[in-house]
Structure 1
Amino acid sequence: MRIDIAQTLSEPEDRQVVWSHADAPELFDELHLKGDLVAQVLVSPEGDNKWLVTGTISGVQTLTCSRSLEPFDRPFSTEIVVEVERIQIAKQELDEEDVDVYAYKIPQGQYFVDVSECVRELILLQEPQAPVKNPDEDFIFVTNNNPAEDEAGEKPTDPRWDKLKALKDKMSKGN
């Protein structure tokens, strides 16, 4: 996942970078990304061999709802701030001293910065701990395992509770 850095850049330049599953299949699979990942960035020169890349990354993640356990697609957008410096080194390095800004050092002959790790961390950080399919709606658990029980007036229960009750009964009989 690369962002091109021009050899000479005197004015800030808007760029749109689109990454697909073919660009980083492991990352797309790990983060459950669906479709393309789009970066809208502004590349600004900050002096000789130094640039600041700012903007947003947006895409769609397929997450599992913590209420219903159903998969759902969740669009997201997150901010990105990357400092890039071209110096005399053998390979690209990520400086992790500043937690708010990703600082990359790239070799003199390299005209791009690979932001895969930065993108991975930003997407993981924006992901909710307990994703919910429809957060504004009240959740009602519905089961159609035994319609006769529903008609008799008993409330359907989540099968996970039944397993916990069975475990509790087993534990209490053992004492």
Structure 2
Amino acid sequence: MRIDIAQKLTESEDRRVVWSHADAPEIFDELHLKGDLVAEVLVSPEGESKWLVSGTLSGVQTLTCSRTLELFDRPFKTEIVVEVERLAVAKQELDEDDADVFAYRIPQGQYFVDVSECVRQLVILQEPAAPVKNPDEDFIFVSNKPTSDGSAESEDTMDPRWEKLKALKSKMENRS
């Protein structure tokens, strides 16, 4: 997962980088990414051998709903900020001192920055702890009661545990 860095860049440049499963199958599989991952960034020179890459990272993750345990696709968009500095180093290094900015040091002859670890961390951080398929809808418990012939009959009913909780809440409110 690379972003090209020109040898000499005098003015800022907009870039659109698209990565697919073939570019980083292990990351796409680990993060449950579906389709392409897109970075729309501005590459700005910050000196003779230093650049700031900032913009957005967007894609779609297939997650498991914490309410229904069904898989669903969740689009996301998150900010990305990367500082790149070309120095006399043997290979690319990630400086993890600043928690807000990913700072990479790349060798003198390298004209790209591999942002795989940065992307992996950003996607993990934007993922909700308890993903919900339809967060704006009320959750309705559906019980499957067996019928006399052994098949399951679907019946839309409220989860019986809610009734017990409502009774407890009412009891607590009437206490005062």
Q: TM-score range by the shorter chain?
A: 0.7 to 0.9
- Note the alpha carbon deviations across 1:101-143, whole angstroms, 9 max, x for none: 0000000000000000000000000000000000000001213
Greater fraction strand: 2
For residues 50-61 of structure 1, what are the structure 2 equivalents within 5 Å? 50-61=50-61
- Tell me the distance in 1 between the aligned counterparts of 2:65 and 2:117: 26
Q: Could you say which residue in structure 2 is the equivalent of 1:77?
A: 77
2:24 aligns with: 24
* RMSD of aligned residue pairs (Cα, Å): 2.2
The equivalences for 1:1-175 within 5 A come to 1-147=1-147
Partners of 2:81 and 2:34 lie apart in 1 by 23
How far apart are 1:38 and its partner, in Å?
0.2
**In structure 1, distance between residues paired with 2:140 and 2:13:** 50
Conserved in 1, the CA contact under 8 Å of 2:91 and 2:107? yes
CA distance 1:155–1:88, shift in 2 (3 Å): closer
SS in structure 1 at match of 2:63:
strand
Q: Secondary structure at the match of 1:67?
A: coil
Equivalent residues of 1:11, 1:44 under 8 A apart: yes
Secondary structure of 1:34's counterpart equals: strand
Q: What displacement does 1:22 show?
A: 0.1
Cα deviation code 1:29-86 (max 9, x no counterpart): 0000000000000000000110000000000000000000000000000000000000
User: Cα 1:67–1:151, aligned 2, differ >3 Å: closer, same or farther?
Assistant: closer
Counterpart in 1 of 2:164? none
Match of 1:166 in 2: none
| Aligned equivalents of 2:159, 2:135: Cα separation in 1 | 22
Alpha-carbon distance in 2 for matches of 1:151, 1:4: 55
**One-letter amino acid of the structure 1 residue matched with residue 112 of structure 2:** F
Query: Is the contact made by 1:32 and 1:62 (CA closer than 8 Å) also made in structure 2?
Result: yes
Identity of aligned residues (%): 76
| Structure 1 residues 108 and 151: CA distance shift in structure 2, 3 A | closer
Is contact 2:15-2:42 (8 Å) kept?
Answer: yes
Distance 1:14 1:151 in 2: 53
User: Contact 1:17–1:39 (CA<8 Å) still a contact in 2?
Assistant: yes
Q: What is the identity, as a one-letter code, of the residue corresponding to 2:60?
A: V
- AA in 1 matched with 2:137: E
How many residue pairs get aligned? The number is 157
Q: Secondary structure at the match of 2:142?
A: coil
Q: Structure 1: state its 5+ residue gaps.
A: 159-175
Q: What TM-score results when the alignment is normalised by the length of structure 1?
A: 0.84
**TM-score, structure 2 normalization:** 0.84
SS, match of residue 46 in structure 1 = strand
Name the amino acid aligned to 1:11. E
